[in-house]
Amino acid sequence: MSTAMNMDDKQIIMDFVLLNSYTNYVDAHIARGVLEEEGINCWLKDENTVTIDPILSNAVGGIKLMVVSSQAERASALLERLRRESKATLSCPKCGSHNIELVSTPRKASNWFSALLGFITFSFAMPVEKVNHCFDCGHEFTEKQDTAGAEEINN
């Protein structure tokens, strides 16, 4: 095939910028899907590198979401909305309510002994927990952390 370019081809070539990077294959595809639905011209760079070798993904900086520079600002706003929406779809495992907020809470001490132990060891083993608090039933639960994403690719 011929790859010779004329002036018209050159005008089609667009300037892509790095919008975000992901260590998680699924997250990267969700983000790309959302942007494409909104008509944003984007693609995933280093996708194959990450999928084949999750260890290497740290070295190359993960899967890079590239967008046309002229649409980068809008794409960034869409991703921000996606982050907010994914937080809003969080539901209480006890009552199913969406009336949930992430709150910081010191680990609860069940009795005076653990309170004392907690006081002594506080700076080492008692970090402030981030929990999701349900305002409907009062249930508190922790969100699954995203850090295991890279390992899961290997399965």
* Contact residues for Zn ion, defined by CB under 5 A: 92, 94-95, 97, 134, 136-137, 139
* Nearer CB in complex with Zn ion: 43/141: 141
Sole residue written with tokens 């010191």: 106
* Nearer CB in complex with Zn ion: 115/137: 137
Cα dist from 21 to 17, 61, 63, 129, 151, whole Å: 11, 7, 5, 27, 17
Q: CA-CA distance, 150 to 37, in Å (whole number)?
A: 26
Taking the complex as a whole, the smallest distance from the CB of residue 95 to Zn ion amounts, in Å, to 3
Q: CA-CA distance, 75 to 90, in Å (whole number)?
A: 23
Taking the complex as a whole, the smallest distance from the CB of residue 130 to Zn ion amounts, in Å, to 17
* Nearer CB in complex with Zn ion: 83/94: 94
Taking the complex as a whole, the smallest distance from the CB of residue 129 to Zn ion amounts, in Å, to 18
